[in-house]
Homo-oligomer: A and B are copies of this chain.
Amino acid sequence: MRIGILGTGAVGQTFGTRLHNLDHDVTLGARETGNPRALEWAEAHAARCGTFAEAVADADLVINATAGQHAVNALEMAGGNSALAGKVVLDVSNPLDFSTGELRLSVCNTDSVGEQLQRSFPDARIVKSLNTVNGSVMVEPTLVPGQHTIFVAGNDADAKRAVTVLLGEFGWAAANVLDLGGIEASRGMEMYMPLWVSILRALDGNLAFNINVIQG
């Protein structure tokens, strides 16, 4: 599959490398042409890099791995609604703001990044997933032992199915994928972040953790 990744940070590169190793045709998209991190990654993996727009142009699936605060802007730069029309956009971002020295969400409670993206690009098929675990766990869930849960949310059932197939390639068993419904469920998935950070601290910084939903 042709996959365009928006964002050249740790999460973007983690997706790029994993998807490249899974034989997908990856383009790592950067804000500017000639981004040194993107060039270095592309050279190391004999893969492609380019601008956000180039990453999206011929992609079957787009992954938003930019910071949540900048996600709408990044997808605008990628060509906006017309460039994204019909495409599945997997949004793994969180609106984390550490500028005050402690965690704030730049949007929450009445809105979320997932909803902002779907509202801004109504013809894109936004699917929120994977934002509730660390980047390494996103693409390699076996780093956490046993059964544990990953959420998906989005308005388009086919798009969620396509994402669930991709999750399966990463190692997420279908039985551990919990569909939370429409894109408005992004709100809860993003608002979990402060608890996630507290758990991370309680586990002495071990990023290889997740939660398993259990019912009686």
Contacts and interface: CB of A to CB of B under 8 A. Distances in A.
A127 to B, nearest CB: 15
Nearest to A216: B208
A83 interface: no
Contacts of A209: 213-216
Interface in A166-208: 178-181, 185, 187-189, 191-199, 201-203, 206, 208
A32 to B, nearest CB: 32
Nearest to A105: B109
A85 interface: no
Contacts of A104: 109-110
Copies of this chain present in the complex amount to 2
A101 interface: no
Given A104-B110, A109-B105, A109-B108, A213 B199 contact: yes
A198 B180 contact: yes
A188 B180 contact: no
Contacts of A165: none
Contacts of A109: 104-105, 108-109, 194
B216 A198 contact: no
A211 interface: yes
A99 to B, nearest CB: 13
Interface centre among A180, A199, A214, A215 (most CB of B within 10 A): A215
24 contacts: A104-B110, A108-B109, A108-B191, A109-B109, A145-B214, A146-B214, A148-B212, A151-B198, A178-B199, A178-B202, A180-B201, A187-B194, A188-B193, A188-B197, A191-B193, A192-B192, A192-B195, A203-B215, A208-B215, A209-B214, A209-B215, A210-B213, A211-B214, A212-B214
Given A203-B213, A211-B213, 13 more contacts: A108-B109, A109-B194, A143-B216, A144-B214, A145-B216, A151-B198, A179-B202, A180-B202, A188-B192, A188-B193, A189-B198, A203-B215, A210-B214
